[in-house]
Amino acid sequence: MGSRIGTGIVWALILAFVVVGFVLVQNGSINPPTLFRDKFVLKQIRVNGGTLSVRVARTPEEQKASLNGVASMPKNEGMLFIFKDDSRYSISTSEMLFPVDIIWIGRTGAIVDARANVSPGLRDPVKPLANARYVLLVNAGTMDRYDITTRSSVDISDIQ
């Protein structure tokens, strides 16, 4: 009888840890280990007098993983996709967990298209109106905070 009680207590503790961990991940207090946190090195870009730290995704594998399944992203961080050619690169938010601003950047650094406050979990990819060489994903509200528009440009010289 005593061993059943001990086993029950152990299972109750395990369940409690799982529930607390789930709640902390859901409210953004902690992030689960992800490719976003573990693999990408932070680099600096400048836009409209402000500096953002970005994680650079150059390969299709890095770009596919990007922010998928990440619970949150620090306020002044982002994800920068670098492509070899100019094209209309669509962005899927189907596996993202938080809203983002999506900014398409031409090879000279000019912003060619942008969408603010794109919801996570959209079934259809978000398509730009113009060709771009880079795509920047930042927390929703970043475009407003830095006054980013299609008349802005991004200094990505430190990324190359």
pLDDT of 64 higher than 60 = yes
Which residue, among 83, 57, 82, has the nearest Cα to 70 in the 3D structure? 57
Q: Where are the domains of the chain?
A: 1-30, 32-155
Six token digits for residue 16 = 């409690």
pLDDT, tens digit, 9 for 90 and up, residues 72-125: 899 899 999 999 999 999 999 999 999 999 999 999 999 999 999 999 999 999
Class of 32-155 per CATH? mainly beta
> What pTM was computed for the model?
0.76
Amino acid identity at 9? I
Supply φ then ψ for residue 50, to 5 degrees: -110, 160
pLDDT, tens digit, 9 for 90 and up, residues 72-87: 899 899 999 999 999 9
Which residue, among 102, 46, 100, 92, has the nearest Cα to 73 in the 3D structure? 100
